[in-house]
Structure 1
Amino acid sequence: METQSLHRGRLLDHIQLVVRSLPASKRFYTAVLEVLGVPIAGEYDDFFWADELVISAVDSEAAAGKLTGRQHLAFQARDKAMVEAFYRAALENGGTDNGAPGYRPYHPDYYGAFVLDPDGNNIEAVFHGPAQRSVTSVEITF
């Protein structure tokens, strides 16, 4: 597997999901990632990847014959329209509704949609609204 660039200092280097049906997952993830502007970067017989997400067949060497179990992945969207396009693409390509696009109470302007992928993973697209003031440090006094 080759990468286009190395990003040091990230919290996560990569995530692997092990799935029952690689063709079903490839159809689903190709469609939802396309609307998010993330192309499938490469593939082999028993896995494919996009950015730092690797999807492997259960019978691949890396999977060791075990599914990863239910995961929650949230992808960032540029705007509400992208969240809505993600949701439609997911449902049209093997996904199941797990929360239609809409505002959520997590913070003001949190606009997200949730679907279950073909293996039951909770996959989300979220738009956090207009740029918000970032917090670089917090002072706590007792």
Structure 2
Amino acid sequence: METQELHRGRLIDHIQLVVSDLMASKTFYEAVLGALNIPLGGSADDYFWADELFVSTATSVAAQGKVTGRCHLAFQAQDRAMVDAFYAAALASGGKDNGAPGERPYHPGYYAAFVLDPDGNNIEAVYHGEATRSSASVRITF
């Protein structure tokens, strides 16, 4: 697998999800990442990638033969409309509702939507508002 650019100084270098149905995942992630203005970087028969997110089959050379466990990934959105577009794209592309767009109590201005991807991973798009914008691009929690 390759990347277009190396980003030093980030907390997360890259994330890999190993999925059970690559085509279903590719359809889902192309749609939600497209809503966030993030293009796919490349693909092959057993993987695809965008920025520092790599998604592969269990038989991919980069995987260890097993589907990854349930993860929570949060992608930053540029505004509330982008969160809404992410949510609509996810539901139209095989995602399942896990929390409609709206304010959350985490901090003032936290506007997010949550969906489950085809493997049950909790995928979020969040806009932190103007006063609290963060420089991190992806957050993962276990």
Moved more, 106-115 or 60-69: 60-69
TM-superposed CA distance for 1:57, in Å, is: 0.7
1:60 equivalent in structure 2: 60
2:122 and 2:85 map into 1 onto residues whose CA distance is 17
2:59 and 2:115 map into 1 onto residues whose CA distance is 25
Output one character per residue of 1:16-58: Cα deviation in whole Å (capped at 9) or x when no partner: 0000000000000000000101000001110000000000012
What stretches of structure 2 of length at least 5 have no aligned partner? Answer: 135-142
Whichever residue aligns with residue 81 of structure 1, its letter is: A
Q: Give the match's secondary structure for 1:39.
A: coil
Alignment of 1:1-142 (within 5 A): 1-132=1-132
Whichever residue aligns with residue 105 of structure 1, its letter is: P
Whichever residue aligns with residue 32 of structure 2, its letter is: V
2:88 and 2:8 map into 1 onto residues whose CA distance is 34
TM-superposed CA distance for 1:131, in Å, is: 3.0
1:55 and 1:133 map into 2 onto residues whose CA distance is 27
TM-superposed CA distance for 1:5, in Å, is: 1.3
Instruction: Please report the TM-score for the alignment, with normalisation by the length of structure 2.
Output: 0.91
What stretches of structure 1 of length at least 5 have no aligned partner? Answer: 135-142
TM-superposed CA distance for 1:133, in Å, is: 8.6
Instruction: Please report the TM-score for the alignment, with normalisation by the length of structure 1.
Output: 0.91
How many residues align? The count is 134
- Structure of greater Rg: 1
Identity %: 72
Cα distance change, pair 68–133 in 1 and its aligned pair in 2 (3 A): closer
Q: Give the match's secondary structure for 2:83.
A: helix
Q: Aligned-pair RMSD on alpha carbons?
A: 1.3
Moved over 6 A (4+): none
Which one has more relative contact order, counting CA pairs under 8 Å at least 6 apart? 2
